[in-house]
C-alpha cells in the first residue's frame, strides 16, 4: 500500500514540477533569481 502511494506521489511530482517552474518564471521578472531557486532543490 505505501509503495503504491509513493509511486503515485512520484508521478504527481513529475507532472506538477514543470508547471510550477513555468509559473515561477512568469512571476519573476528578474532572471537572476532563477539561479537561487535551483540552489534550493
Provide mean pLDDT across the span 31-38. 55
* pLDDT tens digits, 10-30: 999 999 999 999 988 888 776
Q: What's the pLDDT at 37?
A: 54
Whether the CB-CB separation of 34 and 25 falls below 8 Å is answered with yes
Q: What's the pLDDT at 9?
A: 94
Give the CA-trace dihedral at 35, 38, 40, 41, to 10 degrees: -170
What is the pLDDT confidence band of residue 32, given thresholds at 50, 70 and 90? Answer: low
Amino acid at each position: 500500500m505505501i509503495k503504491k502511494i509513493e509511486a503515485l506521489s512520484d508521478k504527481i511530482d513529475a507532472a506538477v514540477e514543470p508547471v510550477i517552474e513555468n509559473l515561477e518564471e512568469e512571476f519573476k521578472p528578474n532572471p537572476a533569481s532563477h539561479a537561487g531557486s535551483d540552489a534550493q532543490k
